[in-house]
Chains A and B, each alone.
Chain A
Amino acid sequence: MQERNVQGRNLAVPAAIVLAGALIAGAVLYAGQSNPRPATTDSPDDVPAAQGAAQQSLDRVRPIGEQDHVRGNANASVVIFEYSDFECPFCKELHATLQRVMENYGQSGDIAWVYRHFPLDVLHPVKARKEATAAECAGELGDTDAFWTYADRFFELTPSNNQTDVDRVLPQIAREMGLDAAAFKACLESGKHDRRIESDIANAIATGAGGTPWSILVAPDGTKYPINGALPYTALAQIIESVRN
């Protein structure tokens, strides 16, 4: 009897090791293959995307349209579609990285950076969506580069993680840019950009986004590289160099 108990205890070691291996392998496979749906949407359009293969999901990225905000050459051979949340700290990190990418590669006209909204309402209720609307309003009321000016300045000022004082910061940036304060306020409250933001969110989910920042780099040969999170500059620069050559 005692011997049987000891044998059982001996089996605990290899069993636990096997279990650990299985759990790790399962986690790796699961996390690698799945394209989770964020809790922010109930759009039926995203259901097939969540079930589809990763590359098929990436093919759903909406081509550059007139409503898009593009920094760099819109006809560039390399296009980075970024889906971003103004309250996400890692979006702030990636924004700075992409600014650096554009400084170094944008002059050649080979790179385009397309900004699309993906406010995570569950994590950053009210504020993220309001900030997206504010950026759209700035783009509407200001000059052709006003959207980017607003976004750049916002990411400089925001502490992220839903801690931005939107009642102070949003009008402040509008004032700094010389926008009409009354028109800016009216635009913010109008809801006129809601549909456009929803469209960006739906497209993010359709392409397999599970969080922010979510980006897709489209190479000259049409290959789509999914970028989950804020890649460091060295990684992005290497990918750009390789696909350009």
Chain B
Amino acid sequence: MYWRTAAKVLGIPRYGGLAGATALVVLTLAVMVPHWSLISTVLGSPSFSLSEKAITLGSLYGTLGTSLSALATGSLTGSSALFGVNSALLAYFISRRRPGTGTGVVASVGGLVTGSLGVGCAACGSLVLTTVLSFGGAGAALASLPLGGEEFGLIGFALLGWSAILLLRKVQNVDALPGGARHPNSSACAAPPLDRSAARRRVSPEPDEGAGQGNRP
């Protein structure tokens, strides 16, 4: 059922666009960060015309195939997409002005950070985790992991997936409320108690098991 909710939210051009743009930004950051020194040198070089600078930067997306393992490329691309979806769901949810998103947000942030840690050439050392660990001489610890540190990318992917599910649940709940709109004093007041059975009756015309039980004499 979650995919229907996700499709509904992402089908709205504003949120679909936000998801795509956010995913592209995250992917771009992950691709460009390891090459920041090169990028700054190229951008500051008079040898490159504007179009040559653009072509050089664009060609760095090719490092997804040359500087990352297939697993790292998959987890990075998937994490970027999931982060975009999380952002869109969060924006949609916030637009409904319902409090209590803490768990989903924290999971989303945790997923992104963990995913970022695991991104990159774990075996040969290029991005955040290796950067941090190499200062402490802990590269051996990273190397001793079964996947050479790529576990972090997978954990990040899983956390983002979990976060998306939590957000989808909240979106379903808020959409099931009467009107699904903001409370007049939502910035200072708690949401009114959730009357799920009433909400389901309004949303779904077919008989609902839970509602039926609730109305049973």
| A interface with B by C-beta (< 8 Å) | 2-3, 5-7, 9-10, 12-13, 16-17, 19-20, 23-24, 27-28, 30-34, 36-40, 54-55, 85, 88-91, 93-94, 97, 120, 122-123, 161, 208, 210-213, 219, 221, 223-235, 238-239, 241-243, 245
Contact = CB atoms under 8 A, between A and B. Distances in A.
B112 A242 contact: no
Contact of A228 (B34, B94, B105, B138): B34
B102 A24 contact: no
A3 B108 CA distance: 26
Tell me the dominant secondary structure on chain B's binding face: helix
Contacts of B41: 55, 223-226
Given A210-B125, A211-B125, A6 B102 contact: no
B135 A32 contact: no
Given A226-B38, A229-B35, 11 more contacts: A16-B102, A30-B132, A36-B135, A85-B124, A90-B67, A211-B124, A229-B121, A232-B59, A234-B59, A238-B59, A242-B56
Q: Which 4 A-B pairs have the closest CB atoms?
A: A211-B125, A232-B62, A32-B36, A39-B139
A36 B169 CA distance: 42
Given A12-B105, A13-B101, A36 B62 contact: no
A233 B108 CA distance: 35
Contacts of A88: 123-124
A52 to B, nearest CB: 13
Contacts of A91: 124
B127 interface: yes
Interface in B42-80: 42, 45, 47-49, 52, 55-56, 59-60, 62-63, 65-67, 69
A225 B36 contact: no
Contact of B126 (A5, A33, A55, A228): A228
B112 A36 contact: no
A127 B102 CA distance: 49
